[in-house]
Chain A
Amino acid sequence: MAWVSSAEAQRFVEVVNATVNSIQNQGKFDCQANALQLEAAEMTVSGETIRWMVGKEVEITTKGDVYGRQWDQHSFETVLDQVLEREYQKNLIYQAIQEGCAAPRDISQKVGLNLRQISYLLADMEKTNMVEFKGMEACKPVFAAL
């Protein structure tokens, strides 16, 4: 993200050059390999949590929250990041279950989160009816996406 005024042609050229160089160094983006992550990110940014949080930002950072506590921009954004990260991880798990990884261990291998975190998030997702516990299969807990 860059700011370029209408009079700053030179600045625009610099920004474009820097962007192209940076992406050339990072290499090609493989959207097939990252399909799961993209899907989870899309769910996160189109979900209602981000809208609630962003919608409350100005009120909370200027007037304070309902408990009368003051929040500065930085601390609000830290909380927002944490909330979104958790939301993203839940969506990642949801996508993995939809792809057919039913047991926490398979999900862990697919998305790269540790087992403890996955169990914790799955319990939370059960409460909000994102996933359903189907029972045990060969000593493994099995979940289904709703």
Chain B
Amino acid sequence: MAEFEPKIAAFLCNWCAYAGADLAGVSRLQYPPNMRTVRVMCSGRIDPLFIIKAFKEGCDGALVAG
């Protein structure tokens, strides 16, 4: 059986982590494609409800990066 590929909701801050992810792409650094990115204007925008909602919709994990 193929290795378990988790679905992870990633909430990325527009000004830091999202730009970091962008730079990782531009620099051709490789990382696994399991993240489903949601760009937010600030990581302070994340309500714990978003994370519960992510799990309810079938995500296996959640990452908040700011």
- A residues with a Cβ closer than 8 A to B are 1-13, 15-17, 19-20, 22-24, 26-29, 31, 34-35, 38, 41-42, 45-46
Out of B30, B34, B49, B64, which one reaches A13, CB within 8 Å?
B30
CB distance from B32 to the nearest CB of A (A): 5
On B, residues with C-beta under 8 Å from A are 3-4, 6, 8, 10, 15-21, 23-24, 26-27, 29-32, 34-35, 47-49, 52-53, 55-61, 63-66
Are the C-beta atoms of B3 and A6 separated by less than 8 Å? Answer: no
CB-based A-B contact count at 8 angstroms: 107
Q: How far is the CA of A6 from the CA of B10 in the complex (A)?
A: 16
Return chain B residues, CB-CB under 8 Å to A26.
60-61
A8 touches B20 (CB 8 A): yes
Q: Are B4 and A27 in contact (CB under 8 A)?
A: yes
Q: Of B6, B21, B47, B55, which is in contact with the most chain A CB atoms at under 10 Å from its CB?
A: B6
Chain A residue nearest to B46 in the complex (CB): A1
